[in-house]
Amino acid sequence: MTGETMRKAVALSDSTLGELAAEVTRPMYDRKRTFPGLVHIGAGGFNRSHLAVYLDDLLERGEAMRWGEFGVGLLPPDKAIHEGLKAQDYLYSLMALEAGDESLRVIGSLCGHLYAPEAHEGVLERMVSAECAIVSLTVTEGGYFEDASGRFVEENPDIRHDLEHRASPQTWLGYVAEAADRRMKYGRAPFTLMSCDNVHGNGAVARKSLLAFAALRSDVLHNWIEANVAFPSSMVDRITPRTTDENRAMIAEKFGVMDRVPVVAEGFRQWVLEDTFVAGRPAFEKAGVQMTGDVAPFEKMKMRILNGGHLSLAFLGDLLGHTWVLEAAADEQLRRVLIEFMAEVRPTVPPLPGIDLEDYSNTVLRRFTNPAIRDQVTRICSEGCAKYTKYLAPSLADLLAQGRPARMMALVLAGWLYYQRGVDEQGRAMTMEDAQIGMLKEFVEGGCKEARLALAVRPLFGDLATAYPQFVAAVQANLDSMRARGVRATIAETLAKAPQTA
């Protein structure tokens, strides 16, 4: 847009909604009449491109004014989100990006937000309030305090802190357990705890962690939660890159909206949700949520093909110098890696009525190559240890147990190991973000040469090193080849051996 046509951006707030350009969608319902029936921990980009949007859809339909969302931030980066939202009457905009079709929608479903480290009691009050019927979570793959064997990591310092400081916790577990304890003592109805994380069996995982934590507080609390709280599992999906200053500038220039905390996402969204709620729920199905009795097969499909597929591009892509997922997916060699990787893991995904897994894979490829979405390769690479465990390890275990080829897995895994050197093929330092990387210490300190040193780390790889020596040898061969001849030559060689998919 040129200087002349550039409009003056309007700072987002309740009182300025009427001044927004006609093309900007905004809440038409009366936000003052919305009640926070749902308290959500982790109102970052994904929550605000997904759950909050479904709630906004329902509010727009006049379906249920009691199902607004009250957001809670636990971590330092949430402070800026809190301040931005507060200054904007908890309004924010969502820019949906599809090639040639960018749209902006102001979302009104947030009724409030608190930055928990500065408002412990306020957060607890919200969760204990009579109107709160659902506490929901987006705390990431690593946020459940369980190791790869599923053990609750009770020695974690944050968990110890929360056991000792019940009224000023740091983790979601501390808050939810204390809120449940107060509800129990006040004789209030329980709530449903709904995990919205991209974790296999997210409801069961949340339940297990919460029960383990509650048991460390008291048997009575543990038993009350076990008997009263429901934990629906779900499969959630919407690619939501990190918001950048460039996005903010585009929203101001193109749509005339000045928003401190906007969210950008692809147009596509999907939510498959188990229908087990104890204290009522919004009519999610009216907003396109697929309510089901068994989410597991949907999760497998999504995590193994889409999230695994993302990883198949990301580490190799970063090594080859790509900044954006789109760029990586358009790189002819990496595109083939992705296609072959998805074909390799497909047989480990159970059939789903009405879904063709090849079509699903093609949609994933199309979504990754959405030219309007600038999704960061570093975002996908971040927290690789947690992601490896959730998105690659389960399909690898099935492939090996079923005696199926795992060539692309060996390449991708070698790529991840080679990536740990921290420099790309041009010798540039890459951005490394992984809270659990200490697990690969021995391998990294040994110069990232010996796959065996990594693959013997049981919390990540279980008994892989002893049970499947041939696979270990294949990873080692890829790693040696990357060191000796570079990443491209190694990919080319593996692709030459892989079955050629369409």
Kindly list the residues in this chain that would bind ligand CS2 in the complex (CB under 6 A). 198, 237-239, 307, 310, 380, 387
User: What is the nearest approach in angstroms of ligand CS2 to the Cβ of residue 40?
Assistant: 17
| CA pair distance 27, 141, nearest whole angstrom | 32
Residue 295 beta carbon to ligand CS2: minimum distance, rounded to whole angstroms: 14
Q: Under a CB-based contact definition with an 8 Å cutoff, are residues 185 and 127 in contact? A: no
CB 197 within 8 A of CB 204: no
Residue 305, token pair as written in the block = 């093909």
Counted residue by residue, the chain has a size of 502
**Least CB distance to ligand CS2 at residue 463 (A):** 26
- Minimum gap (Å) between residue 380 Cβ and ligand CS2: 4
Of residues 29 and 271, the one with the C-beta less far from ligand CS2: 271
Query: What backbone torsions phi and psi does residue 190 show, to the nearest 5 degrees?
Result: -75, 170
Instruction: Return the HEC string of 248-285.
Output: HHHHHHHHCEECCCCEEEECCCEEEEECCCCCCCCCHH
* Least distance from ligand CS2 to the Cβ atom of residue 268, Å: 9
**Minimum Å distance from CB 492 to ligand CS2?**
25
Q: Report how far apart, in Å, the C-alpha atoms of 205 and of each of 193, 209, 432 are.
A: 11, 6, 27
**Shortest separation between residue 367's beta carbon and ligand CS2, angstroms:** 9
Strand (E) or helix (H) holding 54: helix 51-60
CA 194, 55, 298, 262 torsion-angle sign: negative
For ligand CS2, the closer CB: 45 or 169: 45
Q: Which is nearer to ligand CS2, 97 or 221 (CB)?
A: 97
Give the pairing type, strands 290-292 and 192-195: unpaired
Pick between residue 35 and residue 268 the one whose CB is nearest to ligand CS2: 268
Q: Where are the beta strands (DSSP E) in 280-335?
A: 290-292
Complex with ligand CS2: residue 336 or 379, whichever CB lies closer: 379
Q: Which is nearer to ligand CS2, 56 or 237 (CB)?
A: 237
Question: Measured from the CB atom, is 129 or 198 closer to ligand CS2?
Answer: 198
| For ligand CS2, the closer CB: 198 or 476 | 198
Determine what percent of the chain falls in helix, strand and coil, rounding each to the nearest 5: 50, 15, 35
Q: Which residue is nearest to ligand CS2 (CB)?
A: 310
Taking the complex as a whole, how short is the minimal distance between the CB of residue 241 and ligand CS2, in angstroms?
A: 8
- 3-state SS record for 376-394: EHHHHHCCHHHHHHHHHHH
Neighbour tally for 191: CB within 10 Å: 28
Least distance from ligand CS2 to the Cβ atom of residue 363, Å:
12
Between 116 and 239, name the residue whose CB sits nearer to ligand CS2. Answer: 239
Q: How far is 72 from 70, CA to CA, in rounded Å?
A: 7
